[in-house]
Amino acid sequence: MHETNEKTYSELAREAVGNEELHAAIRMIQDRIGRGTRQLWKTEISPELRARAKAMRMRTLEHLDVVLATLAENIRKQGGHVYFARTAEDASRYCLEVARKNEVKRVVKGKSMTSAEIGVDPLLEKDGIEVVETDLGEYILQLAGEAPSHIIAPCIHMNRRQIGRLFQEKLGIPYSEDPPTLTKAARKALREKLLTADMGLTGCNLACAETGQVALVSNEGNIRMATTMPKVHVALMGMERVTSTLAEHETLLRLLTRGAAVQKISTYVSFVGGPRQPGEPDGPEEFHLVIIDNGRTDILADPRFREVLACIRCGGCLNICPVYGRIGGHAYNATYTGPIGSVVMPLLGGVNDHADLCRGETLCGACKDMCPVNNDLPRMLSELRHMLAYGDETWDVTPVDKTEAVAFKAWAAAMSSRKAYDLLVKSGRLLQAPFVRKGVLKHGVGPLGKWTADRDFPPIAKQTFAERWNTIHAKRLKEDGDA
């Protein structure tokens, strides 16, 4: 279990900006996977396919109640249990009840961001149940007591020397920075946990209502073992992670693995939808699917943000984002990071409480270009910033800084009046004069001081374009007249 960092987004980001090891690690994934995915979108995956996938997602979201009811009905037909959790607390409590009922002593987890969202691990551990991550990256972080820093590559911020020292300390093996040696040590430790676990706890990449199945992708095989070896399997699923038909499921699965790791298909794709049937050699005795709302209904009801529920959590937007590339995942101090986290976390956890996330992105649009389902994250970030500037009763948002809203209204008024604009420019030139050094503003006052604390600010030009035009034009007219 890791602890939430008490530092602010700005403080954590400032620390990360100076961390060259972090930049090198992120550069590796952005150069390899980010560029690879972008190339796939140009050469293999047509824009029409991505547009069609987006249309499928939005159509399913419009009929989400019916689709989820169909999924639950088909899973129950196969002997599985389905629980609809209104809140994170409901979902965690249900998992604990299942564990207690089956006298569970050890839980092995497949990689699941949803489990972190609802905070189920500390609840199980408080009840005396051992919780073990089996994804290699998540296992390393569990040993280190750190939070994931990337949706798909959770320990991307650590290098092999750091992992070698960690394994030496926690697993009691001789120091090594050889990746195969470290992987073998982790496999040995995890195999013992998997063989003696009572319950498997996983997420859900995509569920299919038509077949009543949950699909899980991995490249390590740990999820298949976690779902088949323990006597109980509990799958956690955000209510939006469902497709209506198998055809839709197949299209989105193709986009998911390409967007996540530039793979045509993951090494392992597991389909589960119920307990082991008579005659089957493996599988759990009980299967539970927990379908979690936790604020998603509010997002679904708001047309400004419904689109974000189309996300398939490939993490592709992190692999192209210039902000994430400089500050990494820990600066966000949130379950979901990067551009998608900057939209999702404010909506799930409170816009004012996560104001820094949506205000920290550049709105460059790279995340939209990379998204397999064309989610317009920059537009939604702008909507969140508008709510923070002017408030929003629907989401109970209060303005962060009322002077900012007044300033922008004044700016808008000045920009729509020639006289007011000219007066503003002339006043600005006079006011900036004492602060200009060597052609730049090095020390601003008020809000401008936050900018000049890290970089110079260009002063207002001695002549605007319009002023230069008028001067030159008048000169030419005079010359023409003289001629």
pLDDT at 242: 98
pLDDT at 200: 97
pLDDT at 3: 56
CATH 3.40.50.10420 segments of the chain: 64-299
What is the rounded CA–CA span in Å between residue 282 and residue 268? 17
What is the rounded CA–CA span in Å between residue 255 and residue 265? 9
Which tokens sit at 231?
Answer: 């006597």
Which tokens sit at 282?
Answer: 């493996």
What is the rounded CA–CA span in Å between residue 75 and residue 56? 22
What is the rounded CA–CA span in Å between residue 207 and residue 243? 6
CB 374 within 8 A of CB 46: no
CB 449 within 8 A of CB 443: yes
| CATH annotation of 64-299 | 3.40.50.10420
Q: Write out the chain's pLDDT in tens, 483 residues.
A: 555 678 999 999 999 999 999 999 999 999 999 999 999 999 989 999 999 999 999 999 999 999 999 999 999 999 999 999 999 999 999 999 999 999 999 999 998 999 999 999 999 999 999 999 999 999 999 999 999 999 999 999 999 999 999 999 999 999 999 999 999 999 999 999 999 999 999 999 999 999 999 999 999 999 999 999 999 999 999 999 999 999 999 999 999 999 999 999 999 999 999 999 999 989 999 999 999 999 999 999 999 999 999 999 999 999 999 999 999 999 999 999 999 999 999 999 999 999 999 999 999 999 999 999 999 999 999 999 999 999 999 999 999 888 878 888 888 888 999 999 999 999 989 988 888 888 888 887 777 787 888 888 899 998 888 888 888 888 888 787 755
Which tokens sit at 115?
Answer: 């489990």
pLDDT at 407: 83
Phi and psi for 469 in degrees, rounded to 5? -60, -45
Q: Which helix (H) or strand (E) holds 286?
A: strand 286-292
pLDDT at 124: 98
CB 400 within 8 A of CB 385: no
* Half-sphere exposure at residue 479, Cβ-oriented, CA atoms within 13 angstroms: 6
Pairing of strands 81-85, 286-292: parallel
Measured in Å, how far apart are the chain's first and last C-alpha atoms?
84
Q: What Rg do the C-alpha atoms of the chain give, in angstroms?
A: 27
Which tokens sit at 405?
Answer: 């809203």
**pLDDT one-digit tens code per residue, 256-305:** 999 999 999 999 999 999 999 999 989 999 999 999 999 999 999 999 99
- Map residue 105 onto helix, strand or coil: coil
CB 335 within 8 A of CB 88: no
Note the pTM of the prediction, 2 decimals.
0.89
Q: How far is CA 397 from CA 333, 378, 388, 408, 474, in A?
A: 21, 19, 7, 18, 52
Region of 133 please: left (phi>0), alpha (psi -120 to 50) or beta: beta
**pLDDT one-digit tens code per residue, 361-419:** 999 999 999 999 999 999 999 999 999 999 999 999 999 888 878 888 888 888 999 99
